[in-house]
Amino acid sequence: MSFQLPPLPYDYQVLEPFVDKETMNLHHTKHHQTYVNNLNGATKDSDIVAICQNIKNYPVAVRNNGGGHYNHSLFWKWMAPVGSSNVAPTGTLKEKIEATFGSVDEMKKKFTDAALTRFGSGWAWLGVQKDGSLAISSTANQDNPLMAGVADVEMIPILGLDVWEHAYYLKYQNRRAEYIQQWWNVVNWDEVVKYYDNFASKNNPVPINQ
């Protein structure tokens, strides 16, 4: 049973003007598809979460493409058209964020900073560590915080932002700061809260449909 490209939960243009239609199309049908194809060529194993957690046992092609497949599968879910989700975290996650960072705005500042200071390609993350505390980090290339022994901060990611140039270049060119600022408009906080409540708070990684 090989990995599949998950369908987008929405049409390519619905995140406009924050994330443009052409980028969503290319990002999904070319970049993510390529990770899926290459991953299928690189391993016969099928549990992507287990692969990420044991990434040191796999060749680099699996690290790059397995990470790419996991990260992007969640990325599409972490975004939603304006108006379809709460514009801020709610419930326990909101309390946890406030307790950890002082406020949601402070958390966003730290996350933005992580996204800005990741030199080259990579991702910024908000996640839950083993002791249940929230943390923010960034990783290079297609690494993610599930990758034990690879990620600086090991945690269960509940929100991630792709800062590879392909994620923003067509619309923003070198203006990564502007991309990050605009991206906050399309964060699907209801989904993030679900991921925290149902998975990360119970020390379980968020699953993806394989």
Annotated binding residues, as ranges? 27, 72, 162, 166
**Closer residue to another protein (CB): 52 or 93:** 52
CB of 164 to another protein, least distance (A): 7
CB of 35 to another protein, least distance (A): 11
**Closer residue to another protein (CB): 72 or 108:** 72
Nearest to 129 by CA among 94, 158, 172, 166: 158
CB of 121 to another protein, least distance (A): 4
d(CA 203, CA 206): 9
d(CA 40, CA 117): 32
**Closer residue to another protein (CB): 7 or 120:** 120
Binding site for another protein (CB under 8 A): 26, 30-31, 34, 60, 64, 119-122, 140-142, 164-166, 169-170, 173-174
**Closer residue to another protein (CB): 85 or 182:** 182
Token pair recorded at residue 76? 């599409």
d(CA 156, CA 105): 21
DSSP H or E stretch at residue 198: helix 189-198
DSSP 37-78: HHHHHH-----HHHHHHTGGGS-HHHHHHHHHHHHHHHHHHT
CB of 91 to another protein, least distance (A): 36
